[in-house]
Amino acid sequence: MQYKLVMGNRVYSGWSLRAWLVLRQTRHEFQHEVVPLYTEEFDLFRKECFPARQLPALIATEGDTRRIIWDSLSITEFLSERHPDAGLWPEDASMRAAARSLCAEMHSGFKALRAKMPVNLKRHYKSFSPDDETLADIRRICDLWKWAWAESDGEGAYLFGERFTAADAFFAPVVSRFRTYSIDLDDLSNAYCDLLLRHPATAEFIEAAQSETWVMEHNEFNSE
Ligand SMILES: N[C@@H](CCC(=O)N[C@@H](CS)C(=O)NCC(=O)O)C(=O)O
């Protein structure tokens, strides 16, 4: 099976970061390509990879069979089925259910945080003040992390123990937001953010983002 991961601009595409992290976790070799969002190349991607409409998308080729898997959650499930040894979900059934619940909430919720704190891997705003709704999202995320650590007896490590799982991949874009917008967190949450940002696959993604030159104005603030 050959994989090609098609990602949006890394600077802005937190969804692509998730897929990158889960794919790296499988340790399977893959090709990757960045298709800049809202450009002719992006339109072409949509035509060629229909029905995928957004990025990331995974193109999995095996012999004459070419599958297109889109949406970071379905990419995660596809890879988890194909690579059970990667441990993308925790082994324990209760922990697995918990990890899936966290991912599902992260996938579909936190609308204020997404709207007010867009992912931007090139910026570091020092004087951003979250509004009440965004603050409530931030608190909820830190509460979920604490709950996961308590459930898995792994305070301060990855969400479900010593091993990186899909749940960590799903929260990686949020962690990057916390750093971009200088969000004040408790010590444990800060340590978790450091851990995820130091993860080699995250660091590689962030470094690659630094050499991208596309600018998406609606994801940029003018203030510092
Ligand atoms: N739920 C999707 C969301 C993907 C998404 O929103 N991707 C953005 C780029 S970060 C996109 O393709 N935007 C273009 C559009 O919506 O037209 C996932 O998990 O992959």
* CATH number of the domain bearing residue 113: 1.20.1050.10
Clarify whether residues 163 and 55 are in a common domain: no
Do 93 and 155 fall within a single domain? yes
CA-based nearest residue to 17, from 157, 139, 155, 177: 177
* Ligand 1 binding site (Cβ under 6 Å of any ligand atom): 8, 13, 15, 37, 54-56, 71-73
Residue 170 near residue 158, CB atoms below 8 Å? no
**pTM over the 0.75 mark:** yes
Q: Could you tell me if residue 6 is inside a domain?
A: yes
Q: How far apart are CA 144 and CA 50, in angstroms?
A: 36
> pLDDT for 116-174, tens place per residue?
999 999 999 999 999 999 999 999 999 999 999 999 887 558 999 999 999 999 999 99
**What is the average pLDDT across 17-23?**
98
pLDDT (tens digit per residue) in 38-63: 999 999 999 999 999 999 999 999 99
61 token code pair:
């080729």
Per the structure, the count of domains in the chain is 2
Same domain? 51 vs 93: no
Q: What's the one-letter identity of residue 125? A: Y
Residues 113 and 197 in one domain: yes
Q: Is the pLDDT of residue 220 over 80?
A: yes
Could you give the CA distance from residue 71 to residue 54 in angstroms, rounded to a whole number?
7
Ligand 1 pocket mutation pick from 49, 53, 54 by most atoms within 8 angstroms of CB: 54
48 in the same domain as 17? yes
For 131, the domain range is: 88-207
